[in-house]
Amino acid sequence: MKGRIGLGLCLLLLAAASSRAKPLPGGAETFTRHDFGAVNFRALDTVAVPWKLVAAALVLDDPQGGEIAQTTLKKRLQSFGFLWPERIQGADVPVMPSRDHPLGITVGAVTPGLPPVKVTVANLGCASCHAGPVYATDGSPDPTSAWLGSPNTSLDLEAYTRAVTTALKSQTGDTPRLLEAVRTLFPGTDAWEMASLRWAVIPLARRRLAEVPEGLSPLPFSNGSPGLTNGIAALKLQGHVLSEAQEVGFTSIPDLADRSFRSTLLHDGAYAPQGQPRWRPIAREDLTVAHRDSLAAITSFFTVPSMGQSPRGALRQIPAAQRTLAWLETRRPQSFPGPIDRAAAARGSVVYDRACASCHGVYSGPVERPRLQRFPNWHGQVASDPARAVAFTPELTRYAVNGGYDKVLDARPTGEYAAPLLSGLWATAPYMHNGSVPTLAQFLLLEPRSERFLVGGHRLDFKAVGIAGQGRGGVRVYPEGYTPWSQPVVYDTRLPGRSNRGHEAQVVGLTLAERRDLIEYLKGL
């Protein structure tokens, strides 16, 4: 008996040692692949989906009538702006893309004890929103190559959610056909999962979808249009404080370069590290591990609205968030691929230092590739659409600090906007906090701001810096002959939460020549 106990103890110690010896994934790999605990059965109640069932339904419901094959699934998901690249760039170490699902969709089998089912769950990860296509020298996007940390300004979560709902409504009525499509797309699916889909998942999906009116999303709020998210509405849904009024606090997806220079997070600075002044200047010498880790703790809470995590579950993801932010601190955005007039950029740097640096930070270095050295963390109002600034409520404050987050997170409404970082600005069009201005030329009032314009799958204009387009019939459309890689949508600035007003007072004091020079400088940030 003693020998058996000794042998068992040795095996346990060896297993523990082996577990400790296994290296943790690096920050770039964590950012790309890690599910942050969001691949779980509970997440199916909000943002996660039964992956194989959804994939089969989307293929069967393909408007183009494509064959039941992975190629059809790939085309459908790309139409919503998901990247399915052959190469990943922007990481400090090689990161290989998945052949089985789009970049940023995390997939895994879950087997909850009750009910005794097995289902492959898919959820959104960091790279779904924060990995954009690489751009060529003429501004053309290359969706076969993704740059980690860049914004995916073509990702249309609203269209994806509605399409999934429509497809499931249409296809769950014919269970044998739907399950046969699952077998064709995923031939390795075992009998346990097939039985779970037939007897548990499909009946549950039918009951829930019956409550959703035709043509609508199962979510009680809109995620907007390509490049937009509605994270505050998603957080309100998780916290059961969603109002009956329309939630229109849309925000555009930023580039993630230089995030550690922030003293607060979110567009309104609602989240700050516990025990630290909310608004304070951050210089490069202030980028300590302690500061970065305090932001990582807050970032782990982002998994609650975006991935359907619980606050307690999100707390366990702080180490993964710390690895991610350690990598992001070293990450650089893709260099501007087009030409930069060096002389104009040099003049533009003087304009920037005089007119922009007090809010958007001090950069130094070569004008075609300067680096941020100090960020003031300015906050206030610039007459832009107020919907997002007022969306964070006292009820959210109470929810955001429950489950142990009160020890790391100081959450409160500010009613203001935090000045954005401008690193990687050229790739983030359309501009403003709600993505309402298609080019920097329009933002700086060199051209009238478009009331309606196409966004999604767009090419970039490297002169105006932003979405390439031309006016036609009251809508700014894509250049003749250009074929977008994802399905575009008309952005209408007349709708609630989407006004393109704001920041005019900060521009009108600049001459037209100064504004043009400023654009040349902004290309390099």
pLDDT tens-digit series, residues 35-75:
999 998 888 888 889 999 999 999 999 999 999 999 999 99
Does a structural domain hold residue 342? Answer: no
Nearest to 297 by CA among 311, 313, 315: 315
- The token pair at 381 is 């109002």
Q: Identify whether 311 is preceded by a cis peptide bond (ω within 30 of 0).
A: no
Confidence category of residue 92, pLDDT binned at 50, 70, 90: confident
- What band does 327 get if pLDDT is binned at 50, 70 and 90? very high
Please tell me the predicted confidence (pLDDT) of residue 496: 96
Residue 3 pLDDT level (bands cut at 50, 70, 90): very low
The predicted pLDDT at position 23 comes to 63
Domain that holds residue 102: 22-226
Q: What is the pLDDT of residues 434-451, one digit of tens each?
A: 999 999 999 999 999 999
Percent of the chain predicted with pLDDT > 90: 83
* 50 located within any domain: yes
> How much is the mean pLDDT over the chain?
92
- Does some domain include residue 394? no
Least confident among 76-90, 236-250, 374-388: 236-250
What burial letters (b/e) apply to 337-361, b meaning 16+ CB within 10 Å? bbebbeebbebbbebbeebbbebbb
Asked whether the predicted pLDDT for residue 15 surpasses 80, the reply is: no
Please give the helix or strand (H or E) that residue 455 lies within, else none.
strand 452-455
Question: Does the residue 405 lie in any domain?
Answer: no
User: Left (φ > 0), alpha (ψ -120 to 50) or beta: where does 81 sit?
Assistant: left
CB 375 within 8 A of CB 421: yes
pLDDT at 12 over 70: no
Sign of the torsion angle spanned by Cα atoms 22, 27, 28, 30: positive
- Position 178 confidence tier, pLDDT thresholds 50, 70, 90: very high
Instruction: Indicate whether 100 belongs to any domain.
Output: yes
Could you tell me if residue 277 is inside a domain? no
The pLDDT of residue 16 is above 70: no
Predicted pLDDT at 19: 37
What is the structure's pLDDT at 1? 38
Number of domains in the chain: 1
Specify the pTM: 0.92
Match 């959820």 to its residue by tokens. 123
Asked if residue 374 belongs to a domain, the reply is no
Question: Residue 185 pLDDT > 70, yes or no?
Answer: yes
What pLDDT is stored for residue 308 in this prediction? 87
Please give the Cα distance from 433 to 427 (Å, whole number).
14
228 has a pLDDT exceeding 50: yes
pLDDT digits (tens, 9 = 90+) for 371-392: 999 999 999 999 999 999 999 9
Q: pLDDT band at 154, cuts 50/70/90?
A: very high
β-sheet bridge partners, residue 375: 282
Mean pLDDT calculated for residue range 347-370: 97
Q: Are 493 and 452 in contact (CB under 8 A)?
A: yes
- Do residues 196 and 118 make contact, with C-beta atoms less than 8 angstroms apart? yes
Interval 155-166 mean pLDDT: 95
Q: Do the domain assignments include residue 454?
A: no
Q: Give the pLDDT score at 22.
A: 56
Residue 137: is it exposed, middle or buried by C-beta count within 10 angstroms (0-12/13-18/19+)? Answer: exposed
Secondary structure string (H, E, C) spanning 465-477: CEECCEEECCEEE
Is the predicted pLDDT of residue 524 greater than 80, yes or no? yes
pLDDT for 291? 97
Type of residue found at 495: L
pLDDT digits (tens, 9 = 90+) for 390-410: 999 999 998 988 888 999 999
